[in-house]
Amino acid sequence: MKLECKHVWGYISDYIDDSVDPAVREDIERHLEHCEICSAILDSTRNILILTADKRTFEVPVGFSEKLHRRLEEEMKKEPKLDEK
Amino acid sequence: MGEIRGAEIQPHQFAAMTTGKQSEAETIGRILAGEKELFHDLIRPYERMVYLTVFSVLRNETEAEDAAQIAIINAYRHLGAFRADAKFSTWLVTIAMNEARQKLRREKRAVLESIEETVEESTGDYTPAFLTDWREIPLEALERKELREALQKAVTELPDHYRQVFSLRDLQELSIQETAEALSMTPGLVKVRLRRARIMLQKKLVPFLKKTPPANRGWFGRAR
Residue A63 has pLDDT above 60, yes or no: yes
Q: Which residue has the higher pLDDT, B181 or B109?
A: B181
Out of A44, A54, A79, name the one closest to residue B77 (CB): A79
Q: Tens digit of pLDDT for each residue in B34-82?
A: 999 999 999 999 999 999 999 999 999 999 999 999 999 999 999 999 9
Q: From B156, which residue of chain A is nearest by alpha-carbon distance?
A: A58
Q: Is the pTM of this model over 0.90?
A: no
Out of B69, B128, B171, name the one closest to residue A41 (CB): B128
Binary contact (A12, B61; C-beta < 8 A): no
Q: Tens digit of pLDDT for each residue in A30-57?
A: 999 999 889 988 988 998 898 898 888 8
Using CA atoms, how far apart are residues A33 and B15, in angstroms rounded to an integer?
A: 40
Using CA atoms, how far apart are residues B218 and A42, in angstroms rounded to an integer?
A: 13
Supply the pLDDT for residue B127.
76
Out of A15, A41, A65, name the one closest to residue B6 (CB): A65
Using CA atoms, how far apart are residues B34 and B39, in angstroms rounded to an integer?
A: 10
pLDDT-derived band at B224, boundaries 50, 70, 90: very low
Of the candidates B72, B51, B78, B82, the one whose C-alpha atom is nearest the C-alpha of residue B168 is B51
Residue B200 has pLDDT above 60, yes or no: yes
Supply the pLDDT for residue A44.
86
Find the mean pLDDT for residues B189-214. 83
Find the mean pLDDT for residues B8-37. 69
Using CA atoms, how far apart are residues B211 and A14, in angstroms rounded to an integer?
A: 28
Q: Which residues of B touch A39 (CB under 8 A)?
A: 222
Supply the pLDDT for residue B125.
62
Of the candidates B39, B71, B40, the one whose C-alpha atom is nearest the C-alpha of residue B53 is B71
Supply the pLDDT for residue A47.
87
Asked if residue B92 lies in contact with residue B46, where contact means CB atoms within 8 angstroms, the answer is yes
pLDDT-derived band at B3, boundaries 50, 70, 90: very low
DSSP at B3: -
Query: Is residue B208 exposed (0-12), middle (13-18) or buried (19+ Cβ within 10 Å)?
Result: middle
Supply the pLDDT for residue B116.
47
| Nearest CA distance, B65 vs chain A (angstrom) | 7
Q: Which residues of B touch A48 (CB under 8 A)?
A: 151, 198, 201-202, 205
Using CA atoms, how far apart are residues B1 and A62, in angstroms rounded to an integer?
A: 8
Binary contact (A66, B5; C-beta < 8 A): yes
ipTM score here? 0.85
Most B CBs within 10 Å, among A45, A52, A74, A75, to test the B interface: A52
Most B CBs within 10 Å, among A12, A24, A41, A70, to test the B interface: A41
| Nearest CA distance, A2 vs chain B (angstrom) | 19
Q: How many beta-carbon contacts under 8 Å exist across A and B? A: 191
Q: Tens digit of pLDDT for each residue in B121-161?
A: 555 566 777 765 555 556 676 677 888 889 999 999 999 99
Residue B213 has pLDDT above 90, yes or no: no
Of the candidates B86, B87, B46, the one whose C-alpha atom is nearest the C-alpha of residue B69 is B46
Binary contact (B6, A42; C-beta < 8 A): no
